Amino acid sequence: MTDAARGEVTFSPTEPFRFCPADGTKLSDPRPSGGVTCPLCGRSWYRNSMPAVGAAVVKDGKALVTIRAREPEKGRLDLPGGFLEVGEHPADGLVREVKEELGVEAEVVGDSVLQATHTYGKGGDWVLAIGFRVRITGGEIQAADDVAGVRWVTLGEIDDLDFAWAHDRELVRAALERENA
């Protein structure tokens, strides 16, 4: 499917559920709570934000940012991270993503320093972003194919950086403020 064709599909009130994902029965409009129950199997479906984690990798008062190698937002800055897998703890997901994107072992430091909601992609799907400080515990950085490079940045320069997504800037800010506290 081309992007143009995808764009012509209007979303249902229970986006992304027009039909029961379990058995394909057509679903009616949602209740005021936002849920809809399948008349055949009785399962209830809700539209929720997708949980994602982001890493502010910190070291010596600086944070690591990654340069995007691919569209969308090629050449702009973001942070290691991604969507959680089913049943995955946020800290485990972050360690996994950092390993995949940077090739290093890492650990989460303390509690989450930023929670944010934002939309992602053409359909405007809602994401719940949970950000943590992360320290590298082993290995040398070897960026994955979708990362063009990395930079270590200070708190003083982050307002001038070209982040692809505003919540990444705020995660770096929150993490470095916590580091410097």
Residue ranges binding Zn ion (CB under 5 A): 20, 22-23, 25, 38, 40-41
> In this structure, are residues 11 and 126 in contact, taking their beta carbons and an 8 Å threshold?
no
Report the DSSP beta bridge partners of residue 151. Answer: 65
Give the Cα separation of 72 and 77 in Å (integer): 11
Cβ nearer to Zn ion, comparing 40 with 50: 40
* Dist. CA 137–CA 105, nearest whole Å: 5
Looking at beta carbons only, is 17 or 163 nearer to Zn ion?
17
- Structural contact between residues 59 and 136, judged by C-beta atoms closer than 8 angstroms: yes
Least distance in Å: CB of 126 to Zn ion? 23
Q: Which is nearer to Zn ion, 9 or 40 (by Cβ)?
A: 40
Instruction: Please state the closest distance from residue 21 (CB atom) to Zn ion, in A.
Output: 8
Nearer to Zn ion, 26 or 74 (CB): 26
Q: How far is the CB of 86 from Zn ion (least distance, A)?
A: 19
To Zn ion, the closest distance from the beta carbon of 38 in angstroms equals: 3
Phi-psi region of 153 (alpha: psi -120 to 50; beta: other; left: phi over 0): beta
